[in-house]
Structure 1
C-alpha cells in the first residue's frame, strides 16, 4: 500500500476532519520515531496514517474493518500487526504490541491528542507556541485532556527506552513540522 492509497482509504471512510488530522498527526510522529530508531519512515508513517481508518464509521469494532481491508489487499504482516496491536486493550483486542514500530504507534497515538490540546489552549492556538515544558505542565493536570490515557504514553520509557520528555519532544517537533496541514 502506498501513502496515496492509504490516504484515499482514510478519506473515503472518514468524514470527520479532526479524525483525519489525527491520523496525519500520528503519521508524522511515526515518521519522526522511525528516524530516531533508524528505521523506515515510509513504513512507520503508513502505519500511523492508516491506524484509525475505520474508526469514524465502525467505532464499536475498530480496527477490525481496517484489518479486513489490509488482508483483502494482501498487505504485509508488519502493517496488519501494527494496526491490530495499537488497539491492545480495546474492543476485545488482546495482542500486546511487540516491536518498536508497534510500541511507537501505541504510545504516540494518545500523545498526539495531548499535544494538540496544548496548542488549542494557547492564545494563538499554534503548535509553534507549544514547548515540551508546557506539555509536561499540562500532563500533571489530570482534568486537562482527561480522555488521554497518560499511562499508555508513559510506556515509551519501558518499551522504547525513550525518556518521556524526549518522547514528547520528538513527537512535538513532528507535529510542528506539519502544523499547516493540521491548521495549527
Structure 2
C-alpha cells in the first residue's frame, strides 16, 4: 500500500483535527499488531487503520450510524485504493453496518479503534496531558470504571483476546505504539 497516497486521501477527506489524530493513532496500533500477527503486511494493516474513519466528516453518522463505513468504501473504490479485505475490515469496525468480523484484520481494527480514544482520554486527565505518563495499570483499572470514557466500546477492546493476546498485553502494545507518535498526536 502506498502510505503517502493514503495520507493525501486522509488530508483531503478528514478536516476535524481530533479525527485526524485518531486515525494516526489507530494506524500506529494496527502496525504494532501487524508486526505480531502478520509481519509481511505491516503497511497494509497500518493503512487500513489510517483510513478506517475516512468518511467521518462527510456523513451524518451520529444520526445514522449505518452511513459510517460505506462512504469510505465508495471513496476508496473511486480512486482505486485498497481491496476487498480492507473494505471488509473498515465496514466491520462499525457494528451498525452489521458486517461480521471474520479474520484477524477485522478483529484488530475493531479493537484498535476504541482503545486509542480510551488511552487518549486517560492521558488527558493527567496534569501534563501526555500519553507517555499513562501506565498500563491505569488502562486496565479504568476499563472497570464505566463512567470513565463511557462511550468507549469496552467489549470491542476486550475482543482482542479472541486473537490470543491478553487485554493487558494489548493495552501495552497500544500504549507503546501511541507513545512512538506522541508528537503527531499532540499528547
Q: TM-score, normalised by structure 2?
A: 0.92
Trace 1:111-126 onto structure 2 (pairs within 5 A).
111-126=115-130
Task: Give the equivalent residue in structure 1 for 2:18.
Answer: 18
1:29 Cα deviation (Å)? 0.2
Give the match for residue 4 of structure 2.
Answer: 4
Counterparts of 1:99-114 in structure 2 under 5 Å?
Answer: 99-114=103-118
Give the C-alpha shift of residue 12 in structure 1.
1.2
Which of 62, 69, 75 matches 2:75? 69
Shift of residue 51 of structure 1?
0.2
Give me the CA root mean square deviation: 1.2
1:132 to 136, 152, 156: 136
Q: Does 1:150 align with 2:172?
A: no
Q: What is the SS of the residue equivalent to 2:55?
A: coil
Deviates more, 1:30-39 or 1:44-53: 30-39
User: 1:71·1:80 contact (CA, 8 Å) conserved in 2?
Assistant: no
2:89 aligned to which of 67, 71, 82: 82
Partners of 2:42 and 2:114 in 1: CA distance: 20
Superposed CA deviations along residues 64-113 of structure 1, whole A, max 9, x for unmatched, are 111112222333212111111112x21xx122111111100001101101
How many residue pairs align between the two structures? Answer: 180
Q: Segments of 4+ in structure 1 off by > 4 A?
A: none
Task: Please name the residue that 1:172 is paired with.
Answer: 175
Q: Which runs of 5+ in 1 are unaligned?
A: none
1:106-157: CA deviations, max 9, x gaps?
Answer: 0110110110111110111111111100111222111110110101111111
- Distance of 1:180 and 1:7 partners within structure 2: 17
For residues 73 and 33 of structure 1, the distance between their equivalents in structure 2, rounded to whole angstroms, comes to: 27
How many angstroms apart in 2 are the aligned matches of 1:96 and 1:173? 29
